[in-house]
Structure 1
Amino acid sequence: MINIGLTGWGDHDSLYEGVKQSSGKLEIYAGHFPTVEVDASFYAVQPLRNMEKWTRETPDAFRFVVKAYQGITGHERGEIPFETRDEMFQAFIDSVKPMKEAGKLAMVLCQFPPWFDCKKENVQYLRVCREYLKDLPCALEFRHQSWYSEEFRSQTLSFIDKENWIHSICDEPQAGARSIPLVPDPAGSEEVLFRFHGRNEAGWTKPAKGDEWREVRYLYDYTNNELEELAGHVKSVSSKVKKTYVLFNNNSGGHAAGNAKQMIDILGLDYRGLAPRQLDLFD
């Protein structure tokens, strides 16, 4: 099973053109795609009312990939409002309960920052994270090239398998140590996550002020040839696992939704159980 979607549901204007938004964007989004990444959970542990609302607004077959809170993965772009590590992890675990209990939690995504390189203390911290999150399916994504260096690649993939992580396979600009190669290997898991960040090398490495980094870094429109190439990797890996999730993160220029639909067409997917589509005046 291959589920294709986007990171977030708020930034994809092409999905909402000509539609009366009497209901929320998520309900409309769920008429196009069977899965989505929740990004708000990275910036703040979400209150139960939000998670319950999003769970309620989506069809039974819909699945969420919930991005782990920034304090868990060491980004810390702002004040961390928890006094202890135990309190922080427990608050996050409690927040995803509505999705888990409804059977709509595909996985938690732990994306570590570019400065989180392959060294002993970081390997130990990954074990700590997995122990805290042991009752949740968790994907592991790196941003530092050292994890997939010739020296450590096989050990990294073996570690992902032994510690019961889901491998997050990324397509992103190849821009030195602070980027990772595409490694289409399920690493022993029965599930896998692909995240496509675009290939804007200049934007990936360019220093940006404030929130500009997001607008610059993920500005990219995949060509049909590139999508065909990526679809080949998705198809190959999906033949080795039970479930495959594919998320397009090239949101800056509004290209993610179109690229995701192209990928659906290339793979010949036909999703059932989506939310009813709202029709515009002339449909």
Structure 2
Amino acid sequence: MGLTIGTAGWSIPWAASARFPSEGTALERYARVFDGVEVNSSFHRPHRTGTWARWAQSVPTHFRFAVKIPKTITHQAELRATEPLIGQFALEVAGLGAKLAVLLVQLPPKLEFDGPLTSSFFSLLRQSIDAQIACEPRHPSWFEGEASSTLKALRVARVAADPALGETAAVPGGWEGLAYWRLHGSPAMYRSPYSSEAINAYAHKLKRAKREGIDAWCMFDNTAASAATGNALSLMENC
């Protein structure tokens, strides 16, 4: 079990460029500093298998990808009758091979917890793609007892998000083998940088998870004003 820190996407802002090698593509440069990345573009549009394969070939053997599953599955189909969609997505991300580590399932705010639907969807997803699963629900019903126990039984980790819907949403839940933090920026979502005090607090949480044998991830999604890279570098230094 390890500790993976990175950002959503691999853009390198000018302010942090001196911390990265000057040679290579943006992904190649990024992957010489960080051990993992979260791919969000897959949520909005499909990528060809060859594109995924090219990305996998661009990074070191130990590098890992977390991939956000398409909105056609989560926001349009709302997890229902998704077998053809998951099948197509599985063919595409197969290009990553063993470097695919986590499937990120972000749910729409209006999607309430439904036990049978949750079980059938995540069972199908696990059968179709060999990767750990992290779910970021955004409806309050997902943070109650039945939802948490269902996710745990399905070996699905619940994302710890910031900003969070409440105290429960701010800490990892569900399956305890994976802890996945998504830090979107606060108070201005996607824009605000995290203070050194906040970075130190997250470092403490990540180190504790690692000591407990949990595969711990922390991905910064506050990319709109280029804060994510600097925050991720600071967190690495503190871990």
Work out whether the TM-score is over 0.5. yes
CA drift at 1:242: 3.6
CA drift at 1:64: 0.2
- 247-256 or 18-27: bigger deviation: 18-27
**Structure 1: runs of 5 or more not aligned:** 77-83, 204-216, 268-283
CA contact (8 A) 1:191 1:241 kept: no
Instruction: Give the structure 2 partner of residue 259 of structure 1.
Output: 231
**1:184, 1:236 → 2: CA distance?**
13
In structure 2, give the amino acid aligned to 1:48. Answer: T
Residue 39 of structure 2 is aligned to residue 52 of structure 1: no
Matched residue SS, 1:199: coil
Instruction: Give the structure 2 partner of residue 5 of structure 1.
Output: 6
CA drift at 1:3: 1.1
**1:193, 1:29 → 2: CA distance?**
20
**2:19, 2:161 → 1: CA distance?**
33
**Residue 82 of structure 2, aligned match among 81, 85, 92:** 85
CA contact (8 A) 1:16 1:28 kept: no
Residue 147 of structure 2 is aligned to residue 147 of structure 1: no
In structure 2, give the amino acid aligned to 1:88. Answer: L
**2:212, 2:175 → 1: CA distance?**
9
**Residue 183 of structure 1, aligned match among 171, 174, 179:** 171
Instruction: Give the structure 2 partner of residue 222 of structure 1.
Output: 194
Matches within 5 A, 1:69-148: 69-74=70-75, 85-99=82-96, 101=97, 103-118=98-113, 120=114, 123-135=115-127, 136=130, 137-148=132-143
**Structure 2: runs of 5 or more not aligned:** none
- 132-141 or 38-47: bigger deviation: 132-141
The runs of at least 4 consecutive aligned structure 1 residues that moved more than 4 Å come to 17-22
CA contact (8 A) 1:195 1:247 kept: yes
CA drift at 1:73: 0.9
Residue 154 of structure 2 is aligned to residue 163 of structure 1: yes
**1:110, 1:169 → 2: CA distance?**
13
**1:246, 1:20 → 2: CA distance?**
23
Structure-2 change in CA distance of 1:19 and 1:61 (3 Å): closer
In structure 1, give the amino acid aligned to 2:109. Answer: P
**2:157, 2:172 → 1: CA distance?**
12
Please give the per-residue CA displacement for 1:64-96, whole angstroms capped at 9, x wherever unaligned: 0011011111158xxxxxxx7332111101111
Matches within 5 A, 1:9-24: 9-10=10-11, 12-16=13-17, 23-24=24-25
Percentage identity across aligned positions?
Answer: 25
Please give the per-residue CA displacement for 1:112-142, whole angstroms capped at 9, x wherever unaligned: 0111233x3xx33322321221233211111
Matched residue SS, 2:155: coil
